[in-house]
Structure 1
Amino acid sequence: MDKHDLLRQLSVLAEQHLVSEQEVLQALRQGKSSPSQHGTASRFTEILYYIGGLIIFIGITVLIVQNWEMLNSITRILVTLGVGIAAYVMGVLYMQRKITQNLTTAFFFLSTILLPTGLFITFHEAGFDVETAGTNVVISGILLGTYLASYSLYKRNFFLLFTIIYATWLFFAFTSLLFGGNPILVEWKFYAYRVMITGLSFIFIGYSFRDHERRKMLTGPLYAFGILGFLASTLALGGWRPEQSLVWELLFPGIDLAVIFLGVVFKTRAFLVFGAMFLMAYILKITSEYFSSGFGWPLSLVLLGLVFIAIGYFTYHLNRKYLG
């Protein structure tokens, strides 16, 4: 029975009052809302592909570690970079046929693990110091170019995700190359500012993806990692007494409350949850810094507990009212 026959029969049943409009609409809603067994099986199969790729990588790693001294340079490169390139090519080939498209996940995942490892080993065997910022710039640049080109060609979110990851790696490596070792910069603060910039970038990228049909599935993870990095770096820049930064300590509450407000506006649970968590961390930090001596500390702990309860209730209320 095709669609037209089904609609015709449904029309006859409606004329005979054997089926009502409400029953038809209810059946349609149930058909749309109930997850298909095929979709569940497909997700389970994809998880198995990832696990399989990870097991292969572990096997190759054990092989290299156990026989490192016995392997020559060419063999070391072949079993890492060579296998990674081969896995990538196999993923592309399997993607061309619909019946084998699901297998591409395993091969692309395997290549994503092996390619960076293989490049590090290749540069190491070529005599480069793989711990320097310059070498990391070259390796991350190669990987970024590869995955950006792959996304341009195949439009898969997998490639887009790792394009963002490798771009982040390149950003840290390049800024270390330019400013690393500068005596004017405090190393941990330099790192914190870069984490802050990265977090903001993730948030803006996630926001730009929110209405895109294919990319919007990355919005949630980008928001979560972005706001985590942004708030953590902002809190860290406040420092600790006696070397605290009063500017950042005064700015942080406003920044954190703004994050909670944006979580309500954009209906983003990550903003709300992390905003509440870091607000509690900030209050704990301030009380331990300035009220940790004498009778003020026990009283501060009591008040702190009440504040935490209030924040928890406030967060729960916002979550139910605006995001539930």
Structure 2
Amino acid sequence: MNEHTNTTAEADKPLSFDVSEERVTGFLLWAGAISVLLGGVLFVLSDTLSGVSGVAVILVPMVILNMVGAYFWYTQGFNDVARVFIFVGALLFPLFLWILFLKLKIYPPGSEDLGLAITLWSTFTYTTLFIIFKTRLFSLLYPFFGLLAYWFILLKFWADDVSAQSIFLALLFFGIMYMVLGYILDSYDDPTNSRFVDIIGIWTLFTSLALLGLQGHHPFFESALLLLSLAFVFMSFPRKADIFFWAGFSFLLYYIFNMIIEYFASALGWPLALFVSGMLTMGGGMGLLKSFNFKLRIELWPNFKVSFAENFRWKTSKEGGIAIEGKKSSPKFLFED
């Protein structure tokens, strides 16, 4: 009876939640930021003003936002507010360059020179702002515009009849460069600030390998994709890097799927590929449990065991088998011989 009464009383309680002053302030700041950005984009698309007046419409709010952000940056307790103003002002910078170069007829519309100038100046600006303010917001911008700048460099300086393989090789080189940059940032800076660099580098690397080895035309790159996928999956355990796992796991599925379709091109190929990929995906999700809150222990034979955790550890064991042990409150799975 008491349980029923308590349940009824809880059900009759009005649904309520607390809204803090910080949440309201943050919502208003970002809502205003989105409005400013949309206004800038719509202005660029409308093409209503010309000459200096068109440049001033973007330049004035960009300068005001950065000045307000700089003021709050040096005011104690307002660093988060300052980052929003500076970030929005920085997002207007490529639009300002677009208007400046077009209105003053510095570059022709739609040319590689226009795209290269905008992306190079934006990459330099965002990299400088990231070094100064050390905010994760700018850690998203400079690697993205760096990728765009690299792409426009390829379009600018390569011949029109360049082969697709050459483009994929250039992207492969870019992915390697970004992975090296991410490693350097991990070593000398906050690892969270290099996350987007790692994402772009890893996925560009895998995508270029997949395109280079597409449909068995280049067995070397197909083999490299398979080995690199497996290496990234296993490296993700000691590093506890979900980016490594999902990149390696996704392209391992792609490799298996592509091989099945290629060598079983009959009507059986597609359902078999879907079945195998689905089973592997379910197995990978079950193995991850709570997003890397686990360690993998492989016991190859009695008295020899390899344990994957934060570091490699060698232990002795009288039992053989494979054990996956969950951390914290995760369930435990044990498979022994």
| TM-score between both structures, scaled by the size of structure 1 | 0.71
Matched with 1:286 is 259
Deviations 1:256-294 (A, max 9, x none): 111112212322111112211211121111111220216
- Cα separation, partners in 2 of 1:197 and 1:87, compared to 1, 3 Å: farther
- Equivalent residue number for residue 163 of structure 2: 186
Q: Deviation at 1:112?
A: 2.1
RMSD, aligned CA: 3.4
Which of 42, 64, 67 does residue 86 from structure 1 map onto? 64
Mark the CA change 1:141 to 1:229 in structure 2 (over 3 Å): closer, same or farther.
Answer: closer
- Per-residue deviation at 1:50? 3.2
1:58 lines up with 2:35 in the alignment: no
The separation in 1 between residues aligned to 2:23 and 2:188, in whole angstroms, is 22
* Residue 249 (structure 2) aligns with: 276
Partner residue in 1 for 2:199: 224
Alpha-carbon shift at residue 205 of structure 1 (Å) = 2.6
User: Residues 205-220 of structure 1 correspond to what in structure 2 (within 5 A)?
Assistant: 205-212=181-188, 215-220=190-195
C-alpha spacing 1:317/1:249, structure 2 compared with 1 (3 Å)? farther
> Which of residues 137, 151, 167 in structure 2 aligns to 1:172?
151
How far off its partner does 1:313 sit?
A: 5.0
Separation (CA, whole Å) in 1 of partners of 2:207 and 2:21: 38
Amino acid at match of 2:221: W
Q: Counterparts of 2:232 and 2:78 in 1: how far apart (Å)?
A: 44
In 2, Cα distance between equivalents of 1:317 and 1:166? 33
Residue 258, structure 1, aligned to residue 237, structure 2: no
| Equivalent pair of 1:52/1:106 in contact (CA under 8 Å) | no
TM-score (norm 2): 0.69
AA in 2 matched with 1:251: A
Q: 2:115 aligns with which of 136, 140, 161?
A: 136
Greater relative contact order structure (CA < 8 Å, 6+ sep): 1
Distance 1:190 1:272 in 2: 28
Report the secondary structure of 1:240's partner residue: helix
**Structure 2 unaligned spans of 5+:** 1-17, 296-308, 311-326, 328-337
1:65/1:289 CA distance change after superposition, 3 Å: same
CA contact (8 A) 1:234 1:252 kept: yes
- Partners of 1:304 and 1:144 lie apart in 2 by 39
Equivalent residue for 1:198?
174
Which of the two has greater strand per residue?
A: 2
Q: Give the Å deviation of 1:238.
A: 1.4
- Structure 1 segments unaligned to the other structure (5+ residues): 1-36
> Could you tell me the percent identity over the aligned residues?
19
Report the CA distance between 1:161 and its aligned residue.
4.5
CA displacement 1:194-237 (0-9 Å, x = unmatched): 43333333333332233546x32223333333322221221122
Is the partner of 1:97 in helix, strand or coil? coil
Q: How far apart are residue 250 of structure 1 and its match?
A: 2.4
Say whether the 8 Å CA contact 1:201–1:226 is kept in structure 2.
yes
In structure 2, which of residues 214, 218, 223 is the aligned counterpart of residue 245 of structure 1? 218
Q: CA deviation at 1:84?
A: 2.0
- Structure 1 residue aligned with 2:211: 236
Cα distance, 1:116 vs. partner?
Answer: 0.2
CA distance 1:58–1:272, shift in 2 (3 Å): same
Could you tell me how far 1:160 is from its partner in structure 2? 5.0
Partner of 1:111: 89
Question: Which structure carries more helix by proportion?
Answer: 1
